[in-house]
């Protein structure tokens, strides 16, 4: 019997290539399926978009650990590509962080992001962000790494938001310590210029992730530019959510006005196929007693 490759090993293999990974972020099982269908090899469950999709609320720490984990499990069940889960602040002290990491690993995530914001956390490109002290930030990552090393088959994506409150140097120092503690991927949130992006990439070891929020604080560079600077993952957390919301609002406005909207809709056949009806019925042919009609 061929041993199944774990989600974490799939992500390790992607990182081992050294190539830049363009990572559209999902918010539910369907958006993750579409990402995989379009040939992307990695996705991230955006906390911003998941909160909007699941509870209709902003990403201000309102979703509980259980809700986030359930959303992650639905997503990993729907796709075969590796998924990075958003573990926020770890939902408590160091012991909570260990439980969070273990839970995301059991849910099938390839990696989990743990950050140094003060709870309740904030979206990285909105106001009101604060970070915890260095000791607590380091304990969170140490606990996450300990959970991984104790047997959780998952990578640790360590995030710092210190740039906003304390400046780039503090953010770099924190991220460097995260790497020393054993984090697999580093994420310095919201650098404001290309020069800052170059500085942090030159100063930090290992794979780095850029977070590209259209209209946000970080320069919206091309994948080629990001790779040249030194990033290995380019995350696009809001692109699909923003596109979906725009299409839905415009469709609703046309419906309200009593106007045709067929040119804005996916073809019925393609819609069924992408959701999985065709694959379901093809598989159903193997089981004669389950057929209907």
pLDDT tens-digit map of 31-50:
999 999 999 999 999 999 99
Dihedral pair phi/psi, residue 234, rounded to 5°: -115, 105
DSSP per residue over 111-180, as a string? EEEEE-BPSSP--TTSS---B--HHHHHHHHHHHHHHHHTT---EEEEEE-HHHHH-HHHHHHHHHHHHH
Judging by beta carbons within 10 Å of its beta carbon (0-12, 13-18, 19+), is residue 246 exposed, middle or buried?
exposed
Please state, in angstroms and rounded to a whole number, the distance separating the CA atoms of residues 193 and 114: 24
Confidence (pLDDT) at 251: 93
Give the chain's residues under pLDDT 50: none
* pLDDT for 120: 73
pLDDT of residue 290: 78
Residue appearing with tokens 């209709």: 56
Q: Say what the pLDDT of residue 262 is.
A: 78
Look at residue 3 in the predicted model and tell me its pLDDT: 72
| pLDDT 10s digits, 108-118 | 999 999 999 99
Q: How many CA atoms lie within 13 A of 284 on its CB side?
A: 11
What number of helices (H) and strands (E) belong to the chain?
A: 13, 8
In this structure, the strands spanning 43-45 and 83-86 are parallel
């Amino acid at each position: 019997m061929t041993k199944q490759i774990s989600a974490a090993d799939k992500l390790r293999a992607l990182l081992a290539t050294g190539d830049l990974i363009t990572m559209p972020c999902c918010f539910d099982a369907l958006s993750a399926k579409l990402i995989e269908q379009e040939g992307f090899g990695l996705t991230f469950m955006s906390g911003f978009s998941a909160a909007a999709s699941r509870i209709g609320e902003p990403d201000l720490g309102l979703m509980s650990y259980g809700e986030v984990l359930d959303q992650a499990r639905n997503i990993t069940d729907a796709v075969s590509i590796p998924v990075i889960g958003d573990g926020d602040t770890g939902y408590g002290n160091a012991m909570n962080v260990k439980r969070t990491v273990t839970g995301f690993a059991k849910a099938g995530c390839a990696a989990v992001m743990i950050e140094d914001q003060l709870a309740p956390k904030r979206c990285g490109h909105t106001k009101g962000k604060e970070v915890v002290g260095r000791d607590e930030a380091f304990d969170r990552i140490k606990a996450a790494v300990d959970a991984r090393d104790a047997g959780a088959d998952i990578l640790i994506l360590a995030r710092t938001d210190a740039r906003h409150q304390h400046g780039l140097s503090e953010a770099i120092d924190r991220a460097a310590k995260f790497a020393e503690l054993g984090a697999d991927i580093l994420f310095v949130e919201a650098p404001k210029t290309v020069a800052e992006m170059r500085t942090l990439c030159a100063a930090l070891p290992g794979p780095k992730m850029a977070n590209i929020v259209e209209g946000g604080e970080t320069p919206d560079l091309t994948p080629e530019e990001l790779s040249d600077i030194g990033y290995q993952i380019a995350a696009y957390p809001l692109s699909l959510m923003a596109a979906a919301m725009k299409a839905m609002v415009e469709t609703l406005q046309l419906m309200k006005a009593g106007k045709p909207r067929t040119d804005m809709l996916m073809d019925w056949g393609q819609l069924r196929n992408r959701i999985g009806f065709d694959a379901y019925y093809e598989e159903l042919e193997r089981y004669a007693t389950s057929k209907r009609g």
